[in-house]
Amino acid sequence: MTIEQQKPDLDTLKRDLFAAMDVATSLDALDAVRVHALGKKGVVTELLKTLGGMTAEDRKTEGPKINGLRREIAAAIDAKKTELETEQLEARLASETIDLSLPARETLQGSIHPVSQVMDELAEIFADLGFAVATGPEIEDDWHNFSALNIPESHPARADHDTFYFQPSPLQGRGKSREAAKGEGEDGDTPTPNPSPSGEGEKRMLLRTHTSPVQIRTMMSQKPPIRIIAPGRTYRSDSDATHTPMFHQIEGLVIDKGIHMGHLKWTLETFLKAFFERDDVVLRLRPSYFPFTEPSAEVDVGYSIDDNGQQVIGGSDRWMEVLGSGMVNRKVIEACDLDPDEWQGFAFGTGIDRLAMLKYGMNDLRPFFDGDLRWLKHYGFSALDVPTLSAGVGA
């Protein structure tokens, strides 16, 4: 027997090991092959150990062969391992399929009412022009709603207001609201003067028929120059297709020195262009009559009817009335203890619901106050649609 004969034939060993790898179909089986070949007592490991007993010459020739075999086997096992792992992963993934055509959970979408959205839009536009937002009570007294606005008891204009009055009630206290108690004065939401039990004459309590009493409250509590808008709920005893007993108005008031109708016109043009986000908004001012302004003007805005029959603001095909306005009557300024020779200004008022309808294409006012979710979702706005000047106030 020769040494050569005693030593396993490397080629045969290699063939046997590769054959064992080929039949290994699991990572465990492959690991058994690895241990058999490369483990502490593996056949290749044993061969490597024989190198130490060889002559330098033999080692020189056998060394590279045996080491070469070890590397080859190790690489083949790694490759096989990757292959098996991939197979195993694919098998797992194949078993983990889910039906993604099933619907995911929905997050409920909330919405902002168009009236609130439009109020925010208006506040944003007017803030840029230096107007603050003022508020006042909805339960008003006769003096603020009528007399101070130059609408005395017997004035025919009163008949047009369809006023809601309150029954006198012992429950109606003379206390102050939290705001008033904190010293926010006339600007708070408490009716002043407080209702007398009988509630007669100028103290008679009513639901404000317009936002104009906020003009009075502002002029009485603030020193000019004044620039405010006053949006809010208003009430008239009227109900048909285009009127609801509760609706929203916005009032604008500027009191300063040297203010004239040209400023009024510019302000209205500027605001309506910004609101409708159109440069072709055209206004037509018509002389009119409001007891609290002199001169007074009704303001028409040009519009056209599109192919769907919707009214589209812009141009001057047709006209619709959108605003009442004028220079604040001297008597009103006097009623607020200001000197009309020193201070003058303008006021205007319009319907917020109406503005919303015109801008967003609603043709019926009545659903505004139904709380019908279908309508609210259709015409409502996302919480994130916060009107900004840089993005345009339209959502």
Partner 1 sequence: MKFTIDWLKEHLDTDADLDTIVETLNRIGHEVASVENAGEKLADFRIAKVISAEKHPNADKLQLLKVDTGEGDPVQVVCGAPNARAGMVGVFAAPGMYVPGIDVTLGAAKIRDVESFGMMCSERELEISEEHDGVIDLPDDAPVGEKYAQWAGLDDPAIDIEVTPNRQDCMGVRGIARDLAAAGLGRQKTLVEAYEPAGAQPVDSTNGSNGQRIEVQPVEGEGEPSIEIRTDDPEGCPAFFGRTVAGITNGASPAWMQKRLRAIGQKPISALVDITNFVMIDLGRPLHVYDRKKLGEALFARRAEDGETLVALNGKSYRLTPEMTVIADENASHDIGGIMGGEETGVQDDTTDIVIECAWFDPARISRTGQQLGLMSDARVRFERGVDPAFLQDGITIATLLVQALCGGKPSATVKAGSPPVPEKSVAYDPQLCATLGGLSVPSDKQCATLEALGFTVRGEGPFAVTVPSWRRDIDGAPDLVEEVLRIEGLDAIPSVPLTRAEGVATPTASAEQKRERKVRRAAAARGLNEAVTWSFISEAEAAVSGDAPWVLANPISEDMKVMRTSMIPGLAAAAKRNRDLGASTVRLFEVGRRYLADGEHPTLGLILAGRNGARHWQDEDTGFDAFDAKAEAMALLAAAGAPTDKLQLFGDASGIYHPGRSGRLCLGPKNTLAEFGELHPATLKALDLDGPAMAAEIYLDAIPMPRASSHMRPAYAPPGQQSVTRDFAFLLDADAPAGDLLHAVKGSDKQLIVDARIFDVFTGEGVEDGKKSVAIEVTLQPIDKSFTEEELKAISDKVVKAAEKVGGELRD
Footprint of partner 1 on residues 86-125 (CB under 8 A)?
102-103, 105-113, 115-116, 120, 123
CB of 357 to partner 1, least distance (A): 14
The dihedral region occupied by 152, where left means phi > 0, alpha psi between -120 and 50, and beta the remainder, is beta
Q: Which helix (H) or strand (E) holds 110?
A: none
Nearest residue (CB) to partner 1, 42 versus 326: 326
Q: Would you tell me how many other CB atoms lie within 10 Å of the CB of residue 310?
A: 13
CB of 66 to partner 1, least distance (A): 52
CB–CB of 267/250 below 8 Å? no
What six digits make up the tokens of 184? 């926010």
260 binds partner 1 (CB under 8 A): yes
Binding-site member from 23, 100, 384, 390 for partner 1 (CB under 8 A): 384
Binding-site member from 221, 270, 311, 316 for partner 1 (CB under 8 A): 270
Footprint of partner 1 on residues 53-82 (CB under 8 A)?
none
Is the Cα dihedral 329, 335, 338, 339 positive or negative? positive
Q: Which stretch binds partner 1 (CB under 8 A): 32-40, 52-60, 82-90, 129-137?
A: 129-137
Nearest residue (CB) to partner 1, 266 versus 317: 266
Please classify residue 371 by burial: count the beta carbons closer than 10 Å to its beta carbon, then call 0-12 exposed, 13-18 middle and 19+ buried: exposed
Footprint of partner 1 on residues 323-342 (CB under 8 A)?
327, 329-330
Nearest residue (CB) to partner 1, 46 versus 294: 294
SS3 track for 135-153: CCCCEEEHHHHCHHHCCCC
Binding-site member from 246, 278, 302, 316 for partner 1 (CB under 8 A): 246
Buried-exposed string 320-345: b where 16+ CB fall within 10 A, e elsewhere = eebbbbbbbbbebbebbebeeeebbb
Q: How far apart are CA 214 and CA 336, in angstroms?
A: 12
Nearest residue (CB) to partner 1, 203 versus 233: 233
Q: How far apart are CA 47 and CA 69, in angstroms?
A: 10
Closest CA to 368 of 234, 247, 207: 247
Q: Which stretch binds partner 1 (CB under 8 A): 4-12, 13-21, 209-217, 286-294?
A: 286-294
CB of 309 to partner 1, least distance (A): 21
Nearest residue (CB) to partner 1, 37 versus 125: 125
Count residues binding partner 1 (CB under 8 A).
Answer: 105
Q: Which stretch binds partner 1 (CB under 8 A): 38-46, 50-58, 212-220, 238-246?
A: 238-246
Binding-site member from 29, 63, 269, 360 for partner 1 (CB under 8 A): 269
Footprint of partner 1 on residues 154-213 (CB under 8 A)?
154-157, 159-160, 164-167, 169, 171-173, 175-180, 188-191, 205, 207
CB of 319 to partner 1, least distance (A): 9
Q: How far apart are CA 37 and CA 32, in angstroms?
A: 9
Residue keyed to tokens 């309808």:
357
CB–CB of 122/131 below 8 Å? no
CA 339 to chain centroid, in Å, comes to: 43
What six digits make up the tokens of 333? 């300024």
Nearest residue (CB) to partner 1, 14 versus 348: 348
CB of 220 to partner 1, least distance (A): 17
What six digits make up the tokens of 136? 């006042």
Nearest residue (CB) to partner 1, 93 versus 98: 98
Q: Which stretch binds partner 1 (CB under 8 A): 10-18, 32-40, 84-92, 284-292?
A: 284-292
Nearest residue (CB) to partner 1, 17 versus 336: 336
Binding-site member from 44, 219, 297, 362 for partner 1 (CB under 8 A): 297
Binding-site member from 200, 377, 378, 388 for partner 1 (CB under 8 A): 377
What is the pairing mode between strands 246-256 and 344-351? antiparallel
Q: How far apart are CA 344 and CA 352, in angstroms?
A: 26
Q: Identify residue 83 by its one-letter amino acid code.
A: E
